[in-house]
Structure 1
Amino acid sequence: MRDPRRAGPDLMIAESALPSSVDATLDLLAKHGYFAERSLATVVFLSLRMARPLFVEGEAGVGKTEIAKVLSAALGRRLIRLQCYEGLDLASAAYEWNSHAQLIAIRLAEAAGDTDRERLSSDIFAERYLIKRPLLQALEPDVRGPPVLLIDELDRADEAFEAFLLEILGDFQVTIPEFGTVRAAPPPIVIATSNRTREIHDALKRRCLYHWVDYPSAERELAIVRSRVPGISAALSQQVVGFVQALRNRDFYKNPGVAETIDWAMALTELDTRLLTPQIVGDTIGALLKYQDDISRMQDDVVQNLLKEAATDP
């Protein structure tokens, strides 16, 4: 296995900014508003120190993407995001050739009487004609240190796309047939996320450290809400978190994530809400639930019961 501490002086400089312990990682994340469980902070710390990609799964809205954003901000690194989608291919994710510029170069060479095809072929596949997409950009050196590469919602991409990622996740390199192999030294910080709408192949998982990000405890969610919505009152924040925690124990089609909790708390604050009532819940439920079937289940008796459960301090 590659030892990142032996990759040269540039990496030693980059590593000096990394947290030196799990506790330091917890503090680093918390200072930037991410209140992680110790198990998550441990795997983040190991990913940073071992220079291994981190693959995180969990329900939508639990804070998987935020890990990469917070690391980028906390470490002062560039964030490079590859948003996955159905049909994503190598040209969109890694690189493609500027065929228009190449064609112009060929025509100019022909007009100048240059008939050396071997030299011309070498010229048109030079780096200046290479259009670099996120995966290739992440391998480039940066004065601020290796960037944070976020491969977001990998489960949305086609299964065949995973094969493209094996080389970059295993060896931090991309092989371009006409150009050669581009290697990163030092390697980027890689965070890959999945909402688990489908299973990711074992070959990809073996190249990463793994963590399942679950819904937060009431205590952690309360800290998150108060950090992200500083204008919210203590009483309302407790009631909001208690309501959401109670709602997640019900059989809804799509439970709200932390992102929805924050959105709802911000909406309530904008309305100068002091305490939750059935009326205000009904008026603002669209900030919390995003499926009509779930919203239609929020009858008066359900809301009243959830409010009673929310009255218990989280």
Structure 2
Amino acid sequence: MTAFLDFEKQVAALDRQIAELREMGDDPTLNIENDIARLEDKSSKLLRDIYSKLTPWQKTQVARHPERPHFKHYIAGMFDDFMPLAGDRNFADDHAIIGGFARFRGQRVMVMGHEKGDDIPSRMKHNFGMAKPEGYRKAIRLMQLADRYNLPVVSLVDTSGAFPGIQAEERGQAEAIARSTEQCLALGVPMVAAIVGEGGSGGAIAMAAANRVLMFEHAVYSVISPEGCASILWRTADKAADAATAMKMSAQDLLAMGVIDSIVTEPVGGAHRAPAQAMQALGDEIAKQLQSLQGLSREQILHQREEKFLGMGRA
């Protein structure tokens, strides 16, 4: 059963009633199909109404939903012949970032992204999607390979931010993030990045400085988490909802400002409620954007990316 968020309590109550009625429905003397259909219709309409007017803070909660599809699910559902490549050829293999060669709808690509994990052991293994310097250096190596073999790069971003631990700082976290961002911008092949959950701080931009930046309808993308922003401005994380609104971190706000290029519609209730439908929509948009970049020369690709980022913030 789907885990319900705080603002979905009414939907949760209706779904509990439906489940109880279904259990009673095993009794042949009862005929409650009409009641079940009525409650299902009411639940569906309520869910649609709630998700049509989510606040930025509520979108943040949806983006963090533990059942939301993760990188491994996208690989299984959208790509074929995935061949993972490990290590940064310098220190270690960071499991927070996974990548390698794959086929996307028949086209050879380099795909990489953050993996958060979906249970306690896998979350520990993948460090909750928070990469260390070796993770970004692995991403650099993958992008350089893609450039060498003339393969488009597809990046799936879902991280609360880069790992903030002292070990990461000792190994050059800021430098690794900067160089990964630089490598994105220097690619002579098309790059399409998609914010599929959280796009947090430099940990996200290091893999999202692409020709086309897509974003799921209920994903978030910001320089800092709402809790972090609230702690700085108001000295309390209790103001996270206010911070989320002020930061304009939703896909709708970012599209209006030109930070992203396209919004990918999610199933009603979020990608976690219908992962296959969400993946189909994302795949269609990635394919569309790759097609629009096909045939461009190396110089045209570099120029397009340069103009995109230099144009942000212009009146």
Q: TM-score, normalised by structure 2?
A: 0.27
Structure with larger RCO (C-alpha < 8 A, sep 6+):
1
Structure 1-normalised TM-score?
Answer: 0.27
> Of the two, which has the highest radius of gyration?
1
